[in-house]
Each structure stands twice: as C-alpha cells, then as structure tokens.
Structure 1
Amino acid sequence: MSKKILVAIDRSDKMNQCVFQEALDLAKATGASLKLLHVLSVDEKDSPNILTLINTPENKKRWEEFEKVGRELLQSLADSAIAAGVPTEYSQGLGRPGHIICDTAKTWGADLIVIGRRGLSGLSELILGSVSNYVSHYAPCSVLLIQGLPLRRKGDVRENFMATSA
C-alpha cells in the first residue's frame, strides 16, 4: 500500500489533469499523502530559451516568471488535493527532470511515482528524450505511467475523427 506518492507535474494541461487525478484517487483510496513536483527545464514547453541562462536583468525576469507560473500550478493542484482531504506538499526544482524526480523520490521516501507518458517512440523518443523512460528505469520505487495521447501529425487520418457519446 502506497503511503507517499510523488506526482511529477509538467506544463501540459491535459496530461497534468490525468496524472494529478490518478494520483489523487490513489491517495484517497489508500490514505497516502502526495508530493507534487515540477522541474524547471529548458526543454519544457514555454521555457525561456537556453540563452536566457545568461545573467542579464531581462533574462532573470523571464526565468522568475517561468518559476512563478510553475509555483502557481503546483499551488492550485495542492489546494485541490487538500480540499479533497489528502495531505499534500509541493516543490519545484531546476535541472534534468528524470534525475530530479528520482532524487526527490529517494530523499522523500516515496513508495510510488505517478508520471505522464507522451507516447513517444523510435526517433522522436531518441531526439526528444523521455523523462518517463528514465524514471521507470532508475526510480527507487514503483512507477505508475499514465499514457498520454500519441502526438498527431498533420494529415494523420485519426485527427479527423472524434469520439462522441449518445
């Protein structure tokens, strides 16, 4: 039974909601506590360019705003979990996401990591990397991968279909 669940959060709205909801449901069912973790990375969606790491007032302001948006996301999710009766804390790190997630799981004593998976494979995974792949191989505890929707390519026949319910 999981007592400490580490939830890896990024800036992809749909995936975040799936990952967070799965972790919240597990925590409520098992009486576990949550730790929400967001890792600031230059590879992340909407991150400032790598050149903004050069210490100028303008670049510093960009990174501060980037950090602020991450903290606000974490605070919002933590507030939701606490309102649902789940003890929750959060933190934000800077660096290589896979490494930070695994290190945090180890130091916090997590029993489970819940993380999203974008569905990359082959060349896309090789070029873009895979945080979930790294975490699943190097985590000090069990890992629950939440599958995201595969990336759609322009002209993909599937992009023209929509599921509906009666």
Structure 2
Amino acid sequence: MFKRILIPVDGSQTSTKALVAGLQMARETGASVRLLHAVNEMAYLGGIDPYGYYPADLVGMMREGGAKILADAMAVSQSAGVAASQVLCDDPGKRLGEAVAEAAKLWNADLVVVGSHGRRGIGRVLLGSGAEQILRLAPVPVLVIRGTASDDSD
C-alpha cells in the first residue's frame, strides 16, 4: 500500500477535499504525509501590480499566503490525528506540475492526492489545469479528487 503521500494544497474547497481524502488514507494505512504549496508563478510576470505593489512586495505576500495555507492544512492534519511535514515551493520558473513532480521524487512519495477544480472552457484555457499538469508529470500514481460545481467559485 501507499506509505508516503504528497498532498498539494492551495487553500480552495477542492484542495481541502483532497487533503481530507489523503489524510483519511494516511490514517487508515499508517502512511506519512507531506503537504506542499507552490507559489503561483504567474504573479512574477506582471512587474508592477495595479495596486502599486512592486514584485518584491508581491513575492513576499505570496510566500506569506502560502505559509498560511500550509499552516491551515497542518491544523487539519493535526485534528485528523495524522502527523505531516510541509514544504513551500517558490521557484518562479516552475509550473505546478513540475514542482509537484520534483517534490514527489525528492521525498520518494508513492502517491500524490490532488484536487481538481474541473474548469472547462475559457477558465481552463486561461487558468490551465493544475491537476492535469500533475497527472502528466508525476513520477508516481495520482489520485484526483473532483470538486463540485459550487467549488468552482474558488
């Protein structure tokens, strides 16, 4: 069975569903869990944001937001009775799928559990599909937890 489960988190309802599912698997099998948050590389492309933040300010805010997302996920893990470790990936040139694949290799994960927003149409074209990237690039099996229509508002 799976002994090392990597769970990417982004703070969305769909991500939380994947977190809960991954933690349940870990609790039932005694697996280790690592939580990962990847800072969104698209924010590095804009230079100055319309609200007057310079890139350094924006990057710092994104790191702080990522740390908060990881802390919240760690709290969920603790309340589920599952010990977890965490990693914040903030390499600006790395896409989500690449960050997850690299983290899975470095940690020797044997499963990735990820949420899928199920975006369609223009939303998928503009925002891409993180779950699809992970499916294509992960060196291990991937369990995709689908969100519901109401989760798409994340």
> What TM-score, normalized to structure 1?
0.76
Distance in 2 separating the partners of 1:148 and 1:38: 18
Q: Is the 8 A contact 1:120 1:150 kept in 2?
A: no
Q: Which deviates more from structure 2 when the two are superposed, residues 70-79 or residues 89-98?
A: 70-79
2:47 partner SS: helix
Q: How far is 1:48 from its partner?
A: 7.4
Q: Map of 1:109-148 to 2, 5 A cutoff?
A: 109-148=108-147
- Classify 1:121/1:71 alpha carbon distance in 2 versus 1 (closer, same or farther; 3 Å): same
Give the match for residue 9 of structure 1.
9
Identity %: 28
- Deviation sequence 1:134-165 (CA, Å, 0-9, x none): 21122111101010124799xxxxxxxxxxxx
Q: Which deviates more from structure 2 when the two are superposed, residues 109-118 or residues 124-133?
A: 124-133
* Larger radius of gyration between Structure 1 and Structure 2: 1
> What TM-score, normalized to structure 2?
0.82
Q: Is the 8 A contact 1:42 1:50 kept in 2?
A: no
The alignment covers a number of residue pairs equal to: 147
Give the match for residue 163 of structure 1.
none
**Structure 1: runs of 5 or more not aligned:** 154-166
Q: 1:74 aligns with which of 70, 75, 80?
A: 70
Distance in 2 separating the partners of 1:129 and 1:72: 24
Distance in 2 separating the partners of 1:40 and 1:120: 20
Distance in 1 separating the partners of 2:123 and 2:61: 29
Distance in 2 separating the partners of 1:58 and 1:126: 27
Question: RMSD value over aligned CA atoms?
Answer: 2.7
Q: Is the 8 A contact 1:74 1:90 kept in 2?
A: yes
Residue identity in the other structure for 1:2:
F
Residue identity in the other structure for 2:143:
L
Distance in 2 separating the partners of 1:120 and 1:96: 18
Q: 1:50 aligns with which of 43, 46, 56?
A: 46
| Higher normalized contact order (CA 8 Å, seq sep 6+, divided by chain length) | 2
Q: How far is 1:122 from its partner?
A: 4.9
Distance in 2 separating the partners of 1:76 and 1:118: 20
**Structure 2: runs of 5 or more not aligned:** none
Once superposed, which parts of structure 1, at least 4 consecutive aligned residues long, lie more than 4 Å away? none
Q: Which deviates more from structure 2 when the two are superposed, residues 133-142 or residues 21-30?
A: 133-142
- Classify 1:123/1:35 alpha carbon distance in 2 versus 1 (closer, same or farther; 3 Å): same
Q: Is the 8 A contact 1:4 1:33 kept in 2?
A: yes
Q: 2:82 aligns with which of 82, 86, 89?
A: 86
Q: Is the 8 A contact 2:9 2:16 kept in 1?
A: no
